[in-house]
Amino acid sequence: MKKILFLCVFLSYCLGANQRLVVLDPASIETLFLLKAQENIVGIASLQHSSIYPQEETSKLPSVGSFSHPSLEKILRLRPTLVILSSYSLNLEQSLKNFGIKTLYLKADHLNDIKNHIKILANIVDKQELGEELLQKFENDLEKLQKEPFNESGIYLFSNQPLMAFADNSIIADIFKLIGIKNLSPQSDIKRPIISSEFILKQNPDIIMLGMQINNTKEFLRLNPLLKNTNAYKKAQIYFNENTSILLRLSPKITERILEFKENLKKGEF
């Protein structure tokens, strides 16, 4: 009921082609392009270490600053009717409201959140039919990804010093579950809990993924020699995934990125 009410409220924002959007959230930018609503985007926040789909188009859009430090002044110059915030730009919300500019923050922690975001954004840009098509494709892609599961266990680590894992209630846990990997990370309200090599050894995962702040498997094992006793080491299934950050971007494009991740894992090539 709350979600339906939320959608109804944002229907009042729907001005179709008249909507001028500054989008500070990369996932929302990608979703809007998939909805063929790029004409509504008047500005975006830029990323420093990765691109935003479709790169050949988003690279041409006016930038209002970086993803982590967007400029209020640059946003105001573009005269937006709505600013879509990211978790890094929530501090701008009150300032924008003081200037009479509506804001929207689409909180995303899980794959299912993407479905609701497609509906909300489709309503805002008056692309409901395309929204339904995109939603159906997304659901079909999720179903396909469940085929040929790994039937193994794993832990996905965020950093090495200290050892931090993506928690059991994270998007990474959703991805593991989707492709048939039992997530052995601890249950925690903290997104990236600190764990120990003893904890990992006790869980004895078949796969250990190294993420955003661990880029060298040899150095990782030198600092954590105990982990040479795990199944993951014995099976030669300790990998560094340089594309971890893009797996955390919750747009419909994530199904293609999960498929690539799954194929790399099958081949043991990262």
pLDDT digits (tens, 9 = 90+) for 191-221: 899 999 999 999 999 999 999 777 788 989 9
* Ranges of H-type helices in 16-64: 26-34, 55-58
Could you tell me the residue ranges of all domains in the chain?
12-143, 152-267
Q: pTM for this one?
A: 0.90
Residue 193: Cβ within 10 Å count: 18
12-143: what fold?
A: Rossmann fold (3.40.50)
pLDDT above 70 as % of the chain: 94
Q: What is the pLDDT of residues 163-188, one digit of tens each?
A: 999 999 999 999 999 999 999 998 88
Distances (CA, A) of 225 to 157, 196, 201, 221, 222: 16, 12, 11, 5, 6
- Return the exposure string of 99-112: e unless at least 16 CB atoms fall within 10 Å of the residue's CB, then b: eebebbbbebeebe
Taking CA atoms, 144 is separated from 141, 172, 264, 268, in Å, by: 5, 18, 17, 21
What was the pLDDT predicted at 17? 56
C-beta neighbour count of 166 within 10 angstroms: 26
On the question of a common fold for 12-143 and 152-267, the answer reads yes
- Look up the CATH superfamily of 152-267: Nitrogenase molybdenum iron protein domain (3.40.50.1980)
The whole-angstrom separation of Cα 231 and Cα 217 is: 15
